[in-house]
Amino acid sequence: MTTHLETDEHRALRSAVAALGNRHGRDFDREQLWSEAAELGYLGVNLPEAYGGGGGGIAELSIVLEELGSAGCPLLMLIVSPAICGTVIARFGTEAQKSEWLPGLANGTLTMAFGITEPDAGSNSHRITTTARKDGADWLLTGRKVFISGVDIADATLIVGRTEDARTGRLKPCLFIVPRDAEGFTRRRIDMELNAAEKQFELTLDDVRLPAGALVGDEDAGLLQLFAGLNPERIMTAAFAIGMGRYALARAVEYARDRTVWNSPIGAHQAIAHPLAQAHIDLELARLMMQKAAHLYDAGDDVGAGEAANMAKYAAGEACVKAVDQAAHTLGGNGLTREFGLASLITAARVSRIAPVSREMILNYVSHQTLGLPKSY
């Protein structure tokens, strides 16, 4: 699957990453693949060259994740570490923060998690209760986060908190780098039925003391900085979903070509062929919107990218769920066996509808922001 919208460099990157993914396959070792992808320069392809990155953008990083996913070995932390955290630090971090974190994020020796979701706030970032207050030159962070990926393998977590605006008294979002061994920073693994390489955690911050240099960016521009990370998150989640859908579809097409009943392959029957063709169309359409979103974001159009990123994530989530469902259905009982590796994707595909923002909240966004309809909340 390639497109004329991509440059020769993009197509070369896609081919090279696909080769890497196919060498590792569905039973991949996460640490080994992460290390090899880092050595080849894929982890930091979106980060500035001055700090060891590839000098590209989210367009390039989304290709990396999509192709690894289509080979059956997606790396979830690509969404979090280089796409969200790396982007925010590259755009808004101090020189000291860039020097400390970006080279390691690019070469894979450092990993960063991202903490925004809270037990009582859900998708409403305006209800975040994790607060930061000044104590001399330091900050003290207190609060809870939930469903935070990969905290156990991360060297630090970029935490979204809120500080009080001295002029209005209102709380405004701010981002802080919290080292994994910070005193008062604890984690509890959440028991998930989803069997993924990256685990989910609940975090507790109990008066975690941080130096002034832990604050990323301008204290008064937190919302801008937050969305600078959330747009790449949505684009990369779309890439994750499209890759997963492509993997499932490829297994189904292969099976439909080979599986013979009544002297003909089952793929010759339109009841099998047409749903698979429709799944392919839906994945291609989702990718086009993802490419649009990545292009707008990399061009510096944060507003345009916000709309497109939400639409891409929505379209990719829906396309992924349908592709995985149809793939499993095509294989019949074999679609539920460990040998063919599709059954576990049924649950994983559902995640692309739910996280990092539900399809209903995206529909709310489009209703309000794009169509100008009144809010119901």
Q: pLDDT tens for residues 262-290?
A: 899 999 999 999 999 999 999 999 999 99
Q: How far is CA 320 from the centre of its chain?
A: 14
Say if residues 101 and 110 touch (Cβ distance below 8 Å): yes
Say if residues 61 and 236 touch (Cβ distance below 8 Å): yes
What are the boundaries of each domain within the chain?
A: 8-111, 113-220, 223-370
Of 229, 225, 220, 240, nearest to 312 (Cα)? 240
Domain 223-370 sits in CATH at 1.20.140.10
What local confidence, expressed as pLDDT, does residue 19 receive? 98
Say if residues 225 and 216 touch (Cβ distance below 8 Å): yes
Of 326, 323, 325, 297, nearest to 311 (Cα)? 297
**Phi/psi at 133 (5° precision):** -130, 150
pLDDT at 121 over 80: no
Residue 321, C-beta contacts closer than 8 angstroms, at least 6 positions apart: 349, 350, 352, 353
Of 22, 199, 224, 227, nearest to 113 (Cα)? 199
Q: What is the DSSP string of 195-228?
A: --SS-EEEEEEEEEEE-GGGEES-TT-HHHHHHH
Looking at domain 113-220, which CATH architecture does it have? Answer: Beta Barrel (2.40)
Q: pLDDT tens for residues 149-199?
A: 999 999 999 999 988 765 666 778 899 999 999 999 999 999 998 888 889
Least confident window among 123-132, 183-192, 239-248, 256-265: 123-132
Residue 11 and residue 58: Cα distance in Å, rounded?
15
Do domains 8-111 and 223-370 share one topology? The answer is: no
What local confidence, expressed as pLDDT, does residue 196 receive? 83
Looking at domain 8-111, which CATH architecture does it have? Answer: Orthogonal Bundle (1.10)
Residue 277, C-beta contacts closer than 8 angstroms, at least 6 positions apart: none
Say if residues 141 and 163 touch (Cβ distance below 8 Å): no
289-321 b/e (C-beta count within 10 Å ≥ 16 → b): bbbbbbbbbbeeeeebbbbbbbbbbbbbbbbbb
CA atoms within 13 A on the CB side of 137: 3
